[in-house]
Amino acid sequence: YLSKEVFDQPKTRKTSFDSSLLDVIQSGVENPDSGVGIYAPDAEAYTVFADLFDPIIEDYHGGFKKTDKHPPKDFGDVDTLGNLDPANEFIVSTRVRCGRSLEGYPFNPCLTEAQYKEMEEKVSSTLSGLEGELKGTFYPLTGMSKEVQQKLIDDHFLFKEGDRFLQAANACRFWPTGR
């Protein structure tokens, strides 16, 4: 995908967060065995470096082109959604994962330590205001014991450290600050 033409065209471009083509390809350069080899350092990178991202995304998602549109969301009427397993025979557990990307901030590879801290404060203060069935526990990694960390990994709430692809993409800088 990274032909000389694709490389030469955007090599001097930068996003408003100062992300460069090197930020996009760094992990793949360091890890030639990577399945994809690129990471978007911020949302703008998908546009600024579209000549690289678009064909990869299309191939990865089985021909879903830049011009294709997702079908409209239809989760149905939640008021008419009954208990899917009234006898408690089939559904053992469910999980909802929320990724932390906030508008106005780049993605992990370009975040500063101060931005990680700001984002953690925004997320934790928002979550602490939830009540009822939405109330839960916020687990900051800073100061977390190894035992709690391992339990969260075992329960699939926390990713293991040491992913060389993410490390090469600078997605683990300032670990564990802001996480």
User: What is the sign of the dihedral through the CA atoms of 164, 165, 170 and 174?
Assistant: negative
Q: Is 131 left (phi over 0), alpha (psi -120 to 50) or beta?
A: beta
Neighbours of 154 (CB within 10 A): 9
Determine phi and psi for 44, rounding to 5 degrees.
Answer: -65, -25
78 is in an annotated binding site: no
| DSSP code per residue over 2-17 | --HHHHHTTTT---TT
Burial 61-89 (b: 16+ CB within 10 A, else e): eeeeeeeeeeeeeeeeeeeeeeeeeeeee
156 is in an annotated binding site: yes
96 is in an annotated binding site: yes
94 is in an annotated binding site: yes
Residue with tokens 């909802």: 96
Under a CB-based contact definition with an 8 Å cutoff, are residues 121 and 178 in contact? no
Report the binding-site residues.
Answer: 93-97, 156
Report the binding-site residues for ATP.
Answer: 93-97, 156
